[in-house]
Structure 1
Amino acid sequence: MAVVIAVLHAEDVALEFVSVLRRHADRDIRVIVGQSGAGVTLPAGLSPRERLRLLAPLVEPGGNTAALPSPEEVAGWLDGPPAEVWTHSPADHRIRRARFGWTVSCAVPGLTVTYSVGDNPFLQTVPGEVAALTGAEADIKIDFINRHAGELLRSRVADRLVTTDRVPVVERFFAADVTQANRLYALISSLGDDAAVADDPWEFGRSAYEADRLDATAAWVTRWCSPDDGPIVEVGACEGELTRRLAGKGYAVHATEPNAGFRARLAGRMRTGTGSGTGVEAGAGSPDTAGAVPGVAGWPGAEVSPDSLEDLAARRDRPAAAYLLIEMLYYDQDLALLDALPTDRVLIALESGRLNDLVWPWLRGQSVWRVAERLELAPPTLESVCDGLAYLRKRGSRGLVLTRAGAAG
C-alpha cells in the first residue's frame, strides 16, 4: 500500500513535507498534484534533493484558478486505498489549499489523514507531530524554490507567494478523521456556502463563549421588544440557536437563512425542539422550498425562510417590531438596505472592528437612523475548538440599537 502526499501545487512538497521524505526514505512515495491532476512517484533510496528534482517539471508558477477536483476524482488518482495520506490542513487560511485538503479527506473517508498545519494566522492548530529539519534539509528547500519556483517569490497571487514564514524549518502535522476535517473546513469557510459542511461549525451548542453571547443577546432583545409588540425578524439565523432562545420566551420569530444546509437543519430543529450540535442532519427538516416553513410543537411561533437581507428590503412584506442583524453583516451588504426594512427598530451585533470599519462610518453619513443604545454583549476570549484540535480568538460582540428617526424609541 502506497504512501501518498497530496498537494495543491508541486512546490508544496518542498515547502511543507520535506520531513515526510526523510521519514519514508526507504519507501516509494506517490505525489498527487491537485491543481493539474498530475502524479509522480518518488522512488525509495533517492536523496530528498533527488526526489524533489522529480517534481520540478510539475511546478506551474502561474495562476491559482483551475477547477479543484472532486473527492471522486481524487479517489481515482489514488488508485486504491493508500497506507498513509499526507495533505493540506482543511483549516489552511489559503482557502484553495484548505478545500483540497478537505476534498482529500472526503476521498478516503475510512482513513485518518495527516495534515500539515500550514498557514493560518487566525486559528492555531495543535500539532500531533513536530519535525525539525537539519540545516542541510533547509538548504534543500531553499535551493528547490530558488531553482524551480523562483517566480513564486514575487507572485502577485497572495496564496502562491512564497514568503519566509511559508518555508518553515520546523514542519508541523496533525491527524484527523473526516468528521473533524469537516468541522475545520467549515470554520475556515465561514463566509461561504461550505460553512454548512459540518453541523454547528461555530460550536453554538458546545461553546461556553457562544452560550454566554447568545444568552446576553436574547436578554438584550427582551429589553427592547416584548412578545406582545409583534413579530421579530432574525436575518441570517444559521442553525437557530438565538431563534430557539427567543421562541422559548414567547416571541413570534421569522428566521431567515439563505444557506440551504443551515436552513434545513434549522427547520428540523424547529420541529423537534432541539438545539445545535444534536446531530440533526441537513435535510432532516423541511424540503428546500422558497416559502416560509412554520414551526410546530418544538418552537411554537417560529418559522424559517430563505430570504436574504436584500430580499427582505426589496419586498418589504415582513413588518416587524424589530429586525435582528446578529453577527451577520460580514458579507459586504449595502447598509442602505436597512432604510427599506418595514420596521422602526434594528438591533445589530458585530465584533468591534467590523462595527468601526463598516457600521459607524455609514451611520455618520445618514439621517434615517439614530443610535438608541450601544453595549458589549460578550468580551473577546481565547477558546479551543474541534475537540481541542485548534484554538482561536473569539472576537467578542458589541450591540447597537438603531431606531428610525422620528419614531417612538
Structure 2
Amino acid sequence: MSILDSTEESVCVVLTGHGGRTVTLPPEELEARVARLLREAGPVDAGGTPDSLELSPSTAYGSVWWAHNPADWRGPQARSGLLAARAAGGRPVRYAVGHAGHSQFAVDRAHPLDGRLLGAKLDALNRLPPELLSGDGEQPRVITATAPSCEQFFSLGPQQAEHLYYLLYAPLGQVEVPPDPWGLDTSAYERERLSATCRWVRETLGGTGFTVVEPGACEGALTAPLRETGLTVVPTEPHDEFRRRLSRRLGPAGVTADTVEELAEKRHLPADAYLLAEIFYYLDDISVVDGLPTDLLLITSSPEFIESSVHPWFSGPGKEKWRPDGRRTLVPPRMDFLVDGVAYQRKRGSVGLVYRRI
C-alpha cells in the first residue's frame, strides 16, 4: 500500500509472477490504482514464477524496487523476491517482511496504515479469488497470516538475498550454497555450542584413544576441533558441496558420502562412538540407529525436539536395545542472527544425550 499511496506521481510496478512484465500506474486516487493493479496482475498459479525476469526497457535504472522477502514461507513470493534480487543490477531493493515464520528482520522502513489505507487494503484482498485467501488449510498464498496493519520493509544486498533464500529453500537447489550458511564458524552462539559439544564428547569418552564417526559433518566446524582434542574422528557428508569444503578443510582422506542409513546398512565404519550432532531432524526413522556398528551413541539436538521425538523413541521402541547414560545442557536458547545484521531468530539451544547399547 505504501507505494500505491503516492498518488501524485506515476508508479511503475514489476509483476514478478508474470515474467517481469511492468505496469505503470498513473496519478489517480488510491482505490483506482488498486483496482487497476488487480486487473493488470490477475491470479497466478503456484508454478507461475519464471526462472528469470524480463524487464521492460522503460524500467528506470534509478527507481527503487520493492519485492517479496526471499525468506517468505510462501514459496512463489520467496522465489519472486530472489529473482528481483538477481535482476536488480545494483538498483536499491526493499523487501517486505511478509510471512517469514520465526525470523525477525532489521526493518529500515515501516508504514502504519490508517483506517482509510487499511480499509482499501482489506477491500482489495476481499476482491481476490477466494482460493487465494483460503490456502486450502495451509498459509494463504497471497496474504500473510494476519494481513498486518503496519507494512515493514528491509534492505538487502544480492548475496544476502541468496543467503536468506538458501536457508529456507536449500532442497530446491536454486541457489549456490553460501559460505558457512549457518554461521558455524562466525556466530558466537554456534561457536559456544560447538565448544561445549567438544568438551562433552571428550569427557564422555574419558580420553583420546577413541574413534568417533560423525555423520553429516557439513563443513567440518565440529570435526576439526574434535580432532584437535586428540580423538580420531571419521566424518561423512552426503551433500556434494559440503563434502568438497570438508575435504579442503581436513584433507580428502577418509571423507565419505555415507548417510546415517547407509552407515547402518553397510556397517563398514565400526567405531567406539557415533556422534549424531543436530541431525536427528533429518532422519525419517530413528530406529535406523539400531544398525550402526557401535555400542555408544552421542546425540545432540534442541530440547524441544528431544522431548517431542528423541526421548519418546528411546523410552519406547528403543528401550529394549539402548539405555540412557547421561544428559547435559550444552547451550541454552539464545537470540542470534541468521544473516548478520539482517535476519535473526531464537536459536533453540542444544542438549547432549548418551545412550549405550544393552
Residues 38 and 90 from structure 1, CA distance in 2 versus in 1: closer, same or farther, beyond 3 angstroms?
closer
Whole-Å separation in 1 of the counterparts to 2:287 and 2:297: 13
AA aligned to 1:354 is: F
Q: Verify the 8 A CA contact 2:99 2:144 in the aligned structure 1.
A: no
Within 1, Cα distance between the matches of 2:175 and 2:333?
Answer: 22
Query: How has the CA–CA distance of structure 1 residues 193 and 351 changed in structure 2, closer, same or farther, with 3 Å as cutoff?
Result: farther
2:208 to 213, 227, 247: 227
Q: Distance in 1 between matches of 2:129 and 2:6?
A: 24
> Which residue identity does 1:60 align to in structure 2?
P
Amino acid at match of 1:97: Q
Contact map agreement 2:7 2:27 (CA 8 A) in 1: no
Contact 1:191–1:330 (8 Å) recurs in 2: no
Which residue number in structure 2 is paired with residue 308 of structure 1?
259
Which residue of the partner structure matches residue 212 of structure 1?
192
**SS at 2:80 equivalent:** helix
How far apart, CA to CA, are the structure 2 residues paired with 1:323 and 1:361?
Answer: 20
User: Which residue does the alignment assign to 2:15?
Assistant: 32
**Aligned: 1:22 with 2:5:** yes
In the alignment, which of 156, 172, 175 is matched to residue 176 of structure 1? 156
What amino acid is the match of 1:46?
Answer: E
SS at the partner of 1:197?
coil
Check the 8 A contact 2:82/2:162 in 1, yes or no.
yes
Task: Give, in whole Å, the separation in 2 of the partners of 1:193 and 1:241.
Answer: 23
Amino acid at match of 2:97: V
Root-mean-square deviation (CA, aligned residues, Å) is 2.5
Q: Deviations over 1:351-400 (max 9, x none)?
A: 01111111112112221111111111111111234232122111000111
Q: CA deviation at 1:40?
A: 4.5
CA distance in 2, matches of 1:41, 1:163: 21
> What residue in structure 1 maps to residue 305 of structure 2?
354
Residue identity matched to 1:324: L
> 1:393 aligned to 2:346?
yes
Determine helix, strand or coil for the equivalent of 1:323. Answer: strand
Q: 1:109 to 1:358 in 2, by over 3 A?
A: farther
In the alignment, does 2:64 pair up with 1:84?
yes
Q: Give unpaired runs (5+ residues) of structure 2.
A: none
CA distance in 1, matches of 2:224, 2:91: 37
Q: 1:381 to 1:42 in 2, by over 3 A?
A: same
1:336 pairs, out of 283, 287, 293, with 287
Distance 1:24 1:307, change over 3 A: farther
Larger deviation: 337-346 or 219-228?
219-228
Deviation, structure 1 residue 186: 2.9
Q: Normalising by the residue count of structure 1, what TM-score does the alignment of the two structures yield? A: 0.79
8 A Cα contact 1:42 1:51, kept in partner:
no
Q: Does 1:187 pair with 2:140? A: no
Shift in Å at residue 25 of structure 1?
A: 4.6
**Aligned with residue 381 of structure 1, among 334, 341, 349:** 334
Kindly report which structure 2 residues correspond to 1:72-151, keeping only aligned pairs within 5 A, or say none.
73-74=52-53, 76-77=54-55, 79=57, 82=61, 83-151=63-131
The alpha-carbon deviation at position 324 of structure 1 amounts to: 0.9
Q: CA deviation at 1:118?
A: 1.0
Matched, 1:41 2:23: yes
**How far apart are residue 68 of structure 1 and its match?**
4.0
Question: Is 1:69 paired with 2:44?
Answer: no
Q: How far apart in 2 are the matches of 1:19 and 1:336?
A: 53
1:196 deviates by 6.2
CA contact (8 A) 1:114 1:175 kept: yes
Q: How many residue pairs get matched?
A: 352
Distance 1:108 1:265 in 2: 30
Q: CA deviation at 1:203?
A: 1.1
1:275-298 alpha-carbon deviations (Å, 9 max, x no partner): xxxxxxxxxxxxxxxxxx31xxxx
Please list every run of 5 or more consecutive structure 1 residues that lacks an aligned counterpart in the other structure. Answer: 1-17, 272-292, 295-302
Equivalent AA in structure 1 for residue 209 of structure 2: D
Give the distance between the partners of 1:252 and 1:339, measured in 2 at CA. Answer: 22
Matching residue of 1:365: 317
Which amino acid in 1 is paired with 2:289?
L
- Equivalent of residue 237 in structure 2, options 230, 250, 257: 257
**2:39 aligned with 1:59:** no
1:350–1:67: structure 2 CA closer, same or farther, 3 Å change rule? Answer: farther
Question: What amino acid sits opposite 1:378 in the alignment?
Answer: V
The residue number in structure 2 matching 1:201 is 181
What TM-score, normalized to structure 2? 0.89
How far off its partner does 1:217 sit? 0.3
User: One-letter code of the match for 2:344?
Assistant: Y
Identical aligned residues as a percent? 35
